[in-house]
Copies of this chain bind each other. A is one copy, B any other.
Amino acid sequence: MAEDGTSKSLGHHEGTDWNDAFQWDVREDCEVRQILDRIADKWSLLVIALLDDRTMRFTELKRMIDGVSQRMLTVTLRQLERDGMVERTVHPIVPPRVDYALTELGRSLHATVQSFVLWTEQHQEDIAEARSRYDRDAGRLADAETAATGATAATAIAAG
């Protein structure tokens, strides 16, 4: 493993190859972060997923997601509309009818979302297993580390 502490600064992009020198702009104002926080929130991905199938009305979406409150569905749809992901069509009839559809931008995101969901489906058992293991072993390091430090504290003195 790498012993040296050659920490590279992430403030600027130099390497363009993601596999070699992978680095984001990790700052708070990074746009990738902003956008990701938006579309990866509690409901957005579900809305995108459902709308990729077909155009839907407000009540349809609300019924199909059915954990969502009226307020949050409205907020989510407004955000997605603002980001240019969904298009909102109001039909001026007496019982109002509003249709929501994905834009081209929204459809292009769906392909990526799909791969994400696929990964999750493929690995959910691994994760569940890892969690069980972790929860079962909780508290094991109290013993282990006390013994370890007691044995090596006098011999292993590292420089700050």
- Contact A60–B5 (Cβ < 8 Å): yes
Query: For the complex formed by this chain, how many copies does it contain in all?
Result: 2
Q: Which of B7, B32, B46 contacts A120 (CB 8 A)?
A: B32
- Contact B112–A21 (Cβ < 8 Å): no
Tell me which residues from 78 to 134 in chain A have a Cβ below 8 Å from any Cβ of chain B: 81-85, 90, 92-95, 97, 99, 101, 105, 108-109, 112, 114-131, 133-134
Which chain B residue shows the least CB distance to A51?
B22
- The interface residues of chain B lying within 8 Å CB-to-CB of A1 are 54-55, 99, 101, 122, 125-126
- Contact B67–A28 (Cβ < 8 Å): yes
**Distance between Cα atoms of A90 and B141 in the complex (Å):** 10
